[in-house]
Amino acid sequence: MLLTSVSFVAVGGFLSNQITNALYDQRFDQFSAEASDALDDEKAVFRNSSATDTDTINRLVLDSVTQLVGTDSDAPRQSILVPLPTDNGSVVSTTTSQAGATARMLPPDLQAAVADGEEIYWAPMVIPVTESGATNAPGLAFGTQVTLPPEQNPVALYVYYDLSTMQSTLDDIHRVLWLAGVVLLIVIGAIAWYVTRSVVRPVSYAASVSEKLAAGELQERMEVTGEDEVARLGASFNHMAGSLQDQITQLAQLSQMQQRFVSDVSHELRTPLTTVRMAAEVLHDAREEFNPINKRSAEILFDQVERFQALLADLLEISRFDAGAAVLEAESVDIVQLAQHAMDGARPLAERLGSDLVIVSGESMCIVDADARRIDRILRNLIVNALEHGEGRPVEVHIASNPEAVAVAVRDHGIGMTPLQASRAFDRFWRADPARARTTGGSGLGLSIAMEDARLHSAWLEAWGEPAAGACFRLTLPRHQGTDLACSPLALPPSSASVPQRAAQGRGTRAHAPEPRPQDDDEGHGSGH
């Protein structure tokens, strides 16, 4: 509507200007010819007059002024005779054919031109009051010099045309243009509103239905009426929604079958696995009585059964997350104490690998509402993962807090990982290098379970890494359940110099050199333990 209004104003202004110019140019030529002929005739009359006395001259002036009056209804013509400023001995005074007209209403430029030359000059003017009563009406004045007998004294003789009727006509044309523009604008607005509404309403309806589909109401469909393009759009939308519903239903059924299969298999394996483990423990305890080959076989069997049992436990935990059966048992816990407990559990591995475990924190206590078992499992996974990939270098556990959140970051200085590997670190069974041997017997689901535990707390679990510079995993917990995290108290990776170290708590001892490990060229952390 704004663009249409601007267009109407531009077109109306152009049309008005063209009409005005055409009308003015046409009438100007007519007025110029008429005024020139009339003034030339009066010049001849004055030049050929034989009047000698004042009365006769005054009568001649009055007759000439009266003779120049025109009765054209569109543009009445009036005349006025004015003594020139240089004619001090003039026997006549200013004579006009219209009552109330004076020489002051004539344009000064026109009077100066007439006083200096003998040609016919013209100029636009403003008529204070016309015969019809119009005020400040537009006019057009023509003037020239004539000579009065008997001494041929020059005076100025003018004729002017009253253009108020023409101006009234132009005003009427302008009013018609404005009225037509307003009416046309209203009509176009109504048409635009109708067409837009007929198009936008189905689109808005489609948007509403799509939002319901996105919310899970897969049975929603659009009502299709007519056979136009909008109806075709609705039919296509409904067909798309039906196809999506079928595919989503199939995927949901397949996912449920897979989850049920994993859960059932895991439960069914527990009993035979327990029996196998008991037998493996018996063989492992009696391995000293076996020959070297059988002894090594018993040790391998015991280790692999333990690894199998850990994998089975992780599969059962993942199946609970997938089934939505995981429940958060939140209570007030001290994150510093949980971190210390997790470090104590990982100390044997740290001693075997020759890594120091250090708490870097200025906090003595950080209380949050959390599930202690799940947070302990997250921290154990992160610490063990850092130790395995830390290449014997120190592993730092940073703890910091603010009024809204508490953060724990586990930083190692080992092989590190690329940003792409960091983005996939929490994928199930994903490994940066599939060929890498697991020195601690992890299941490959530890970081995935840690991520699910973090989501259950509405927490953030993030990874950072840089090849040959180590890696860092940061857990950020809200102090109170139900609050949204805005920022983390720790940077990723944190700076060791930013907070004092509490090395006395949780420092692993290096009783002996680390055990030799096979050399490999892999980069990146595995999926956890």
pLDDT at 432: 60
Cis peptide, bond prior to residue 150, ω within 30 of zero: yes
Q: How far apart are CA 211 and CA 189, in angstroms?
A: 31
Residue type, 183: V
Number of Cα atoms under 13 Å in the Cβ half of residue 160 = 31
Predicted confidence (pLDDT) at residue 59 exceeds the cutoff of 60: yes
The DSSP 8-state label assigned to residue 400 in this structure reads E
Q: How far apart are CA 366 and CA 358, in angstroms?
A: 17
Q: How far apart are CA 319 and CA 117, in angstroms?
A: 112
pLDDT at 89: 57
Q: How far apart are CA 449 and CA 455, in angstroms?
A: 10
* Antiparallel, parallel or unpaired: β 121-129 and 405-412: unpaired
Residues of the chain with pLDDT > 90: what percent? Answer: 16
Token reading at 386: 């850092």
pLDDT at 303: 81
Return the beta strands (E) in 68-186 as ranges.
77-83, 95-96, 121-129, 135-148, 153-162
Q: Are 381 and 446 in contact (CB under 8 A)?
A: yes
pLDDT at 178: 87
Residue type, 265: V
Predicted confidence (pLDDT) at residue 244 exceeds the cutoff of 50: yes
Q: What is the rounded average pLDDT for all residues in the chain?
A: 81
Token reading at 116: 């200096």
pLDDT at 459: 92
Produce one character per residue of 91-124: b if its CB has 16 or more CB atoms within 10 Å, e if not.
ebeebbbbeebeeebbbeebbebbbeeeebbbbe
What is the 3 state secondary structure string of 61-83?
HHHHHHHCCECCCCCCEEEEEEE
pLDDT at 158: 93
> In this predicted model, what pLDDT tens digit does every residue of 82-118 receive, in sequence order?
888 765 556 678 888 888 888 889 999 999 999 888 8
Q: Are 39 and 70 in contact (CB under 8 A)?
A: no
> Fold identical between 1-173 and 229-318?
no
Q: Are 19 and 170 in contact (CB under 8 A)?
A: yes
* Antiparallel, parallel or unpaired: β 395-401 and 357-361: parallel
* Antiparallel, parallel or unpaired: β 135-148 and 121-129: antiparallel
Say whether 411 sits in a helix, a strand or coil.
strand
Give the start-to-end residue ranges of the domains of the chain: 1-173, 229-318, 327-478
Q: Count Cβ atoms below 10 Å from residue 226 Cβ, excluding itself.
A: 10
- Model confidence at 204, pLDDT cuts 50, 70, 90, reads confident
Q: How far apart are CA 414 and CA 432, in angstroms?
A: 14
Residues of the chain with pLDDT > 70: what percent? Answer: 88
Predicted confidence (pLDDT) at residue 179 exceeds the cutoff of 50: yes
Q: What is the mean pLDDT of the segment spanning 246-258? A: 80
Number of Cα atoms under 13 Å in the Cβ half of residue 48 = 6
Predicted confidence (pLDDT) at residue 493 exceeds the cutoff of 70: yes
pLDDT at 227: 78
What does the DSSP assignment read for 176-236?
HHHHHHHHHHHHHHHHHHHHHHHHHHHHHHHHHHHHHHHTT-TT------SSSHHHHHHHH
Query: For the structural domain made of 229-318, what CATH number should be given?
Result: 1.10.287
pLDDT at 326: 74
pLDDT at 142: 94
> In this predicted model, what pLDDT tens digit does every residue of 432-474 receive, in sequence order?
655 554 444 456 778 888 888 888 888 999 999 998 888 999 9
DSSP run (H or E) holding 311: helix 292-322
Q: How far apart are CA 34 and CA 269, in angstroms?
A: 121
pLDDT at 195: 85
Length of the chain as a residue count: 529
Q: How far apart are CA 252 and CA 246, in angstroms?
A: 10
Adjacent-strand bridge partners of 406: 401, 477
Q: What is the mean pLDDT of the segment spanning 300-318? A: 77
Residue type, 44: A
Predicted confidence (pLDDT) at residue 364 exceeds the cutoff of 70: yes
Query: For the structural domain made of 1-173, what CATH number should be given?
Result: 3.30.450.20
Architecture of domain 327-478: 2-Layer Sandwich (3.30)
Predicted confidence (pLDDT) at residue 410 exceeds the cutoff of 80: yes
0.75 surpassed by pTM: no
- Model confidence at 509, pLDDT cuts 50, 70, 90, reads very low
pLDDT at 87: 59
Segment 164-167 long-range contacts (CB within 8 Å, at least 24 positions apart): 164/127, 164/130, 164/132, 164/134, 164/137, 164/138, 165/73, 165/74, 165/75, 165/132, 166/23, 166/24, 166/27, 166/74, 166/75, 166/138, 167/137, 167/138
Predicted confidence (pLDDT) at residue 346 exceeds the cutoff of 60: yes
pLDDT at 208: 84
What does the DSSP assignment read for 327-383?
----EEEEHHHHHHHHHHHHHHHHHHHT--EEEEES-S--EEEE-HHHHHHHHHHHH
CA-wise closest residue to 357 among 370, 339, 337: 339
Token reading at 92: 């006549």
CA-wise closest residue to 389 among 341, 422, 345: 422
